[in-house]
């Protein structure tokens, strides 16, 4: 069975998770974590420091040994907030590539929230109902409202623990003026969640990442202990000799988090190090995170949160499983979520689903009928479907040159479940529907791996044919058949109402490009 590795390059730490597939599920084999503080200089100078790069490369080299020992079939490396902001991110990704051979994928805040949601709802008890997910990392905070295992809303906020420490908290303990500026910034950013979450009744809050773990553990420590006066235990006959480890999940109430945050801002870093759950690795960045949690929970009238050790890496693994198991329920749920996101983008730019339905249907028919000719991987069926639904969205900006606008909108829009390269592929398929043809030197093609260029040309031919077969909007009931021969393809159309003369004429106009790409003649005729 295949083995997958997921690597999360965060603003504070790098994490590795390795799992293999067992009965269409994942079995965790290995985990690792290293605090690298990649974002420490980014949030001040917008540049990753050489030391932070070197620390991260060392961690990735160690991860690579584990990946090789477990003979992983696929490795996916994802970077988040610090890499989104860094001006020298390209230099770092090139260093990673030359050292490990891995391609680093910088994902958006909303895609980060989607993957975290995927990892949590798959494994966390109770997460299939209505719940709120909070992931406060080093550079950003993702707040996700989930219902029935599906995302209803996602908001990504620049409220990461390392970011806030670097931008606002310069003294130890923080000065009142700095805390006032920080409170003002947090309140301003949290206004973005008001309309989306404030009026919703939320029975369960699940918090992930190290800040949530530290706060949940510290919030359950007796107040006297945090004040530096650890209470002495009195020996009794009923006292157990050994401490019993509880398996109950860590939880923290809003009252406890607010009380803890108010105490932490008055303590020095040395004092914060001694608080159980926080320790020396998180003591210098815990204040900002604590204040965000206190303000967010109070603002949304939340009673408490439950900490979950799941996170981004678990979602990445689940995504890889869904991508590989095309017949599994996880894959079907993923495709449904992806398609819903495509439709939402189409609606946003004024394209009704019915307008593109006929083109999409014919594009998929052509994909299935001509498989021996185009030889495209199965995932291109979905990319072609997405391009079929979105190829007219550029008209929202301007009818003239709308194909260029379409490509730009797709490539730069947030579409759940699509990586930047996948968005670039869909955008390129939708781009070349006019007089121009895809060439490797074109700007839309530069963001796409060279090995995909020939496949994009094949997908473009299929979409151009599908559009040609739908020239007459009133004639939506054509039936297609294909006869494939070594040197030609005969596409047969059978009309159910009206006539298909315009469609036949339009499809024949694509014969020259069909021959150029597939090295076969295209004949279009009535059945």
Do 305 and 165 share a structural domain? yes
**Whole-number average pLDDT of the chain:** 86
Residue 235 domain-assigned (yes or no): no
Specify whether 471 is located in the same domain as 426: yes
User: What's the token pair of residue 193?
Assistant: 């969640």
The two structure tokens encoding residue 107: 């994902």
Domain end (from 319, 341, 374): 319
d(C-alpha 143, C-alpha 136), whole Å: 9
Beta bridge partners of 438: none
Q: Is the peptide bond before 173 cis (omega within 30 degrees of 0)?
A: yes
**Is the same domain home to 131 and 26?**
no
pLDDT digits (tens, 9 = 90+) for 269-308: 899 988 888 888 888 899 999 999 999 999 999 999 999 9
Does 496 map to a domain?
Answer: yes
CATH number, domain with residue 32: 3.30.420.40
Confidence band for 527, pLDDT divided at 50, 70 and 90: confident
Residues 384 and 465 occupy one common structural domain = yes
| Mean of pLDDT values over 195-210 | 86
What is the C-alpha to C-alpha distance for residues 297 and 254, in angstroms, rounded to an integer? 6
Question: Do 134 and 103 fall into the same domain?
Answer: no
The token pair at 116 is: 């975290």
Most confident of 309-323, 348-362, 474-488: 309-323
Q: Which of 258, 284, 319 is the endpoint of a domain?
A: 319
pLDDT (mean) for 309-337: 81
**32 occurs within a structural domain:** yes
Supply the DSSP symbol for 212.
Answer: H
Q: Which of 135-139, 295-299, 324-328 has the lowest mean pLDDT?
A: 324-328
Confidence of residue 525 (pLDDT cuts 50, 70, 90): confident
Q: What is the pLDDT of residue 496?
A: 55
Whole-number Å distance between alpha carbons of 522 and 113: 46
Whether 334 and 437 share a structural domain:
yes
Do residues 274 and 191 share a domain? Answer: yes
**Cα 131 from chain centre:** 19
What does the pLDDT look like over 140-176, one tens digit per residue?
A: 999 999 988 888 888 899 999 999 998 898 888 889 9
Q: What share of the chain is helix, strand, coil (3-state, %, to 5)?
A: 50, 15, 30
Give the pLDDT score at 248.
59
Measured distance CA(216)–CA(285) in Å, rounded: 16
> Which are the contacts of 54, defined by CB distance < 8 A and separation ≥ 6?
none
Residue 239 lies in a domain: no
Range of the domain at 46: 3-107+314-319
Above 70 in pLDDT, residue 229?
no
Q: Are residues 303 and 364 in the same domain?
A: no
Q: Under DSSP, is residue 269 helix (H, G, I), strand (E, B) or coil? A: helix
Q: What is the mean pLDDT of residues 380-390?
A: 92
Among the candidates 319, 348, 379, a domain finishes at 319
385 and 453 in one domain? yes
The pLDDT of residue 270 is 92
pLDDT over 70 percentage in the chain = 91
Q: Which residues pair with 76 in a beta bridge?
A: 6
Shared domain check, 513 and 408: yes
CA distance 197 to 354: 32
Range in 273-282, 363-372, 413-422 the model is least confident about: 413-422
For 384, counting Cβ atoms within 10 Å of its Cβ (0-12 exposed, 13-18 middle, 19+ buried), the class is buried
Report yes or no on 441 lying in a domain: yes
Higher pLDDT, 422 or 475: 422
Is the per-residue pLDDT at 438 higher than 80?
yes
Could you tell me if 297 and 362 lie in one domain? no
For residue 133, what are its two tokens? 């997910």
User: Stretch 80-84: mean pLDDT, rounded?
Assistant: 91
And the tokens for 231?
Answer: 């209470």
Give the pLDDT mean for 428-441: 89
**pLDDT for position 355:** 67
Query: Does residue 420 form part of some domain?
Result: yes
Q: Residues of the chain with pLDDT > 90: what percent?
A: 50
Strand order in the sheet with 478-484: 478-484, 488-495, 521-526
Q: Name residue 304's beta-bridge partners.
A: 253
Residue 238 included in any domain: no
Output the domain CATH number for residue 150.
3.30.420.150
Angstrom distance (rounded) from CA 152 to CA 424: 25
Q: Is residue 115 part of a domain?
A: no
The token pair at 147 is 């219902």
Give the whole-angstrom CA distance, residue 91 versus residue 108: 19
Give me the pLDDT at residue 244, please.
37
Could you tell me the CATH number of the domain that includes residue 373?
1.10.3210.10
Co-location of 132 and 35 in the same domain:
no
Residues 6+ apart with CB under 8 A from 455: 376, 377, 380
Q: What is the structure's pLDDT at 234?
A: 46
Count of domains for the chain: 3
User: Predicted confidence band at 480 (pLDDT cuts at 50, 70, 90)?
Assistant: confident
* Cα gap 350→396, rounded to integer Å: 7
Given a contact cutoff of 8 angstroms between Cβ atoms, the answer to whether 38 and 7 are in contact is no
Q: How confident is the model at residue 204 (pLDDT cuts 50, 70, 90)?
A: very high
- 230-284 pLDDT per residue, tens: 544 444 444 444 443 444 578 999 999 999 999 999 999 899 988 888 888 888 8
């Amino acid at each position: 069975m295949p083995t997958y590795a997921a690597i999360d390059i965060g603003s504070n730490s790098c994490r590795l998770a390795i799992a293999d597939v067992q009965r269409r599920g994942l079995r965790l084999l290995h985990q690792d974590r290293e605090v690298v503080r990649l974002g420490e200089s980014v949030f001040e100078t917008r540049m990753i420091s050489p030391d932070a790069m070197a620390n991260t490369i060392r961690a990735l080299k160690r991860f690579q040994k584990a990946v090789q020992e477990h003979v992983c079939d696929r490795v996916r490396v994802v970077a988040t907030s610090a890499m989104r902001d860094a001006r020298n991110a390209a230099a770092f990704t090139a260093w990673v590539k030359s050292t490990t051979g891995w391609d680093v994928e910088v994902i958006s805040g909303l895609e980060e929230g989607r993957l975290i949601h995927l990892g949590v709802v798959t494994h966390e008890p109770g997460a299939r109902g209505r719940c709120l997910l909070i992931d406060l990392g080093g550079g950003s905070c993702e707040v996700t409202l989930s219902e029935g295992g599906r995302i209803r809303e996602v908001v990504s906020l620049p409220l990461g623990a390392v970011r806030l420490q670097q931008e606002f908290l310069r003294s130890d303990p923080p000065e009142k003026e700095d805390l006032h500026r920080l409170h003002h910034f947090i309140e301003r950013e949290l206004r973005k969640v008001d309309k989306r979450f404030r009026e919703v009744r939320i029975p369960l809050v699940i918090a992930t990442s190290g800040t949530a773990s530290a706060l949940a553990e510290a919030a359950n420590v007796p107040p006297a202990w945090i004040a530096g006066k650890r209470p002495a235990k009195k020996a009794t006959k009923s006292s157990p000799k050994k401490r019993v480890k509880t398996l109950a999940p860590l939880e923290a109430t809003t009252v406890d988090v607010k009380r803890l945050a108010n105490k932490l801002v008055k303590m020095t870093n040395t004092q914060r190090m001694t608080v159980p759950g926080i320790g020396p690795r998180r003591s210098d960045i815990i204040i900002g995170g604590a204040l965000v949690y206190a303000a967010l929970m109070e603002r949304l009238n939340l009673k408490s949160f439950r900490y979950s050790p799941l996170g981004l890496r678990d979602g990445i693994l689940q995504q890889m499983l869904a991508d590989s198991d095309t017949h599994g329920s996880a894959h079907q749920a993923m495709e449904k979520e992806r398609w819903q996101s495509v439709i939402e983008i189409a609606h946003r730019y004024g394209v009704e689903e019915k307008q593109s339905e006929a083109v999409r249907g014919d594009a998929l028919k052509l994909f299935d009928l001509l498989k021996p000719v185009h030889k495209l991987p199965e995932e291109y069926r979905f990319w072609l479907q997405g391009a079929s639904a979105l190829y007219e969205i550029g008209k929202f900006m301007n009818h003239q040159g709308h194909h260029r606008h379409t490509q730009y909108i797709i490539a730069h829009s947030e579409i759940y479940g699509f990586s930047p390269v996948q968005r670039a592929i869909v955008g390129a398929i939708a781009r070349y529907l006019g007089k121009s043809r895809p060439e490797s030197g074109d700007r839309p093609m530069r963001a796409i791996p060279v090995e995909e260029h020939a496949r994009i040309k094949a997908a473009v031919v299929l979409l151009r044919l599908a559009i040609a077969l739908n020239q007459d909007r009133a004639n939506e009931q054509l039936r297609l058949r294909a006869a494939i021969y070594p040197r030609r393809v005969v596409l047969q159309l059978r009309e159910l109402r009206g006539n298909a003369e315009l469609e036949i004429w339009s499809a024949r106009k694509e014969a020259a490009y069909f021959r150029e790409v597939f090295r076969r003649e295209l004949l279009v005729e009535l059945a």
